[in-house]
Amino acid sequence: MFVPAVTSAVSASSYVPTAQPAAPPGVPGSDAAFGASLAQSVDGLQALQAKSADLGVKAVTGDLADVHQYTIAATESAVAMELTATVRNRAVEAFNEIMRMQG
């Protein structure tokens, strides 16, 4: 997979979920921590998409002095979306595999 090098004020950690220590299954709060991490990641993705859309409108209307800002924001948004879709697909595959083992 090709991932372009992007340099901007927004760091890669703004859309990559932060690593948290894994709690053993069945430990109270581990589900809540996973859910909170997932919600934070989706919120970050939405923020990147909103920023990209806003800069796109500014670029079209001529209010954006540097079109590179839009290009960078659009690329960050696309990479974050691809990461999110990949994580979702892997989770669905894992769930399906678990369901096959139980049957």
> Mind listing the pLDDT tens digit for each residue in 57-85?
999 999 999 999 999 999 999 999 999 99
As given in the structure block, the two tokens for residue 20 are: 């948290």
**pLDDT, position 65:** 93
Q: Is residue 2 part of a domain?
A: no
Residue 42 is predicted with a pLDDT of 92
Q: How far is CA 19 from the centre of its chain?
A: 14
Contact between 76 and 15 (Cβ < 8 Å): yes
For residue 1, tell me if it sits in a domain.
Answer: no
pLDDT at 102 (0 to 100): 77
For residue 17, being part of any structural domain is answered with no
φ, ψ at 11 (rounded to 5°): -85, 165
User: Considering the domain boundaries, does residue 10 fall inside one?
Assistant: no
Number of domains in the chain: 1
Q: Which residue has the higher pLDDT, 1 or 59?
A: 59
Assigned domain for 39 exists? yes
Indicate whether 49 belongs to any domain. yes
The predicted model scores a pTM of: 0.65
Residue 98 has pLDDT above 50, yes or no: yes
Three-state DSSP at 7 gives coil
The range of the structural domain enclosing residue 53 comes to 32-102
On whether residue 70 sits in a domain, the answer given is yes
Residue among 45, 32, 48 at smallest CA distance from 86: 45
